[in-house]
Amino acid sequence: MTIKSIRRIFMISCFFNVPLSILLIYQFVWSLFKLGNNSYTIISLAELFLYISSNIILAVIMKNLHLEEEQLLGMYQKGEKLNDLIIKNTPSGLIILSNKGIIEYLNPAIIKILGSDEALGQNILDIDSIKNNFIYRNIVSALAGKSSVMFGLNYVTNITKENRVFNTYIDAVVNENKVSKVIIHIHDVTKEVELKNEIESTFLSTIEALAESIDAKDTYTGRHSSNVLKYTSKMCEVLEIDDKHKENIKIAATIHDIGKIGITDSILKKPDKLTNEEYEIMKDHPVIGSSIVGKIHGYKKISNIIKYHHERWDGRGYPEGIKEDEIPLGAQIIAIADAFDAMTSNRVYRKSLGYERAVQILIEEKGRQFNSELVELFIDVLQSSGEELLEIG
């Protein structure tokens, strides 16, 4: 009930109650002095009393309703002001769409991102920059009632032409099984992404330096880690796997021999062929490396690749003797790159086997030591890359 409604009821009540009150008073006085009938007088007095009492109670109730209405209105207005203050000052962009996709509201943050409020009143699905972006299908889904979240959405601002990175939340507001509004929240995470990239770059530089120190420790392997990384990177370029998976494989390739830190120099730098006992000790390096890398947050998958890069396709490898697709894809790739570089590099106990012989051995070991499909892919990569990879060894 609004204040206007209360006032309207009060005025109508007064309009009818004032003449009725005069009539009841006249009836009481007339019965008292003219009729002299005490019973009738008492009844008239009771009617007058009840009438006045009921009106007093009604007035009190209406007054309380009015006060409650004022309090609720005050709370509502304060809430509206607070919501408006939050929406206008939040650093996150906010777009409100009708159930037809018409842009009904843009907060100051999103106007700053877009460069203007010209889009207000337009259908968001008709805007070219939306049509050509994969956010389009998410908005269509939201208009059908399905909310979604997108992380790392790239956008070039109209004013500064800077590339920004957004996390985007598209919420469908559903009332009575129908979409009434769609709210798009856009949070700028560019600085966070830049910081993350900087940290990762620093970390990768540290890893590369560590890999070089490993190669320097084992003087007979030269730039083995660098070579394995180059072969592995070429393989990743042609594999249909996501970028994060590729990055994990390349990091693992860079430090696949990090466990050699735990192998004594007398074994690592031995100029002759290793004895059986020494070879068993050398076989510990994948587990040692996996243990080291596994302690780094978010590097569990990388540590597994390192751990299993000496497993064989037929299950006769080490350290656990797993086989076929039980072996992580990254470990399968690195196993081929690792073996090929070892065969084509000069070692103190033997000279390079040469490109042709190394390729022949890879072919012979298809389905035994290596994944047949990956061997074929590796050979294709070698042939298509020409001198670029042949000069590595």
Phi-psi region of 379 (alpha: psi -120 to 50; beta: other; left: phi over 0): alpha
Parallel/antiparallel/unpaired status of strands 93-98 and 178-188 = antiparallel
End residue of a domain, out of 62, 89, 116: 89
Cα–chain-centroid distance for residue 356? 47
Q: Which domain holds residue 173?
A: 93-188
Angle at 296 between CA 243 and CA 211, to 5 degrees: 75
pLDDT of residue 282: 93
Higher pLDDT, 89 or 149: 149
Q: Mean per-residue pLDDT for 144-165? A: 78
Q: Mean per-residue pLDDT for 152-178? A: 80
Higher pLDDT, 40 or 315: 315
Q: Are residues 343 and 256 in the same domain?
A: yes
Place of tokens 């000790």: 281
Q: Are residues 217 and 261 in the same domain?
A: yes
Q: How confident is the prediction for the chain on average, in pLDDT?
A: 80
Domain at 382, CATH number: 1.10.3210.10
Cα–chain-centroid distance for residue 60? 57
Of the chain, the percentage scoring pLDDT greater than 90 comes to 35
Domain at 109, CATH number: 3.30.450.20
Q: Are residues 158 and 277 in the same domain?
A: no
Name the most confidently modeled range: 77-86, 221-230, 260-269, 343-352.
Answer: 260-269
Paired residues of 98 in beta bridges: 181
**Confidence bin at 135 (pLDDT 50/70/90):** confident
Give the ranges where the chain is alpha helix by DSSP (H): 3-30, 38-89, 108-114, 128-131, 135-143, 190-217, 224-238, 243-254, 265-268, 276-282, 285-294, 300-307, 329-344, 355-364, 372-385, 387-390
pLDDT of residue 350: 73
> Which amino acid belongs to residue 86?
I
End residue of a domain, out of 89, 111, 140: 89
pLDDT of residue 348: 67
- Centre a 10 Å sphere on the Cβ of residue 345 and count the other Cβ atoms it contains: 20
Q: Are residues 47 and 72 in the same domain?
A: yes
Q: How many residues in total does the chain contain? A: 393
Q: Are 98 and 113 in contact (CB under 8 A)?
A: no
What total number of domains does the chain contain? 3
The Cα 248–Cα 31 span in angstroms is 105
The Cα 324–Cα 316 span in angstroms is 11
Q: Are 260 and 214 in contact (CB under 8 A)?
A: yes
How do residues 207-264 score in pLDDT, each as one tens digit?
777 777 776 766 555 578 889 999 999 999 999 899 899 999 999 998 999 898 888 8
**Confidence bin at 390 (pLDDT 50/70/90):** low
* 337, HSE (Cβ side, Cα atoms, 13 Å): 30
Q: Are residues 181 and 215 in the same domain?
A: no
Higher pLDDT, 297 or 91: 297
**Confidence bin at 175 (pLDDT 50/70/90):** confident
End residue of a domain, out of 41, 62, 89: 89
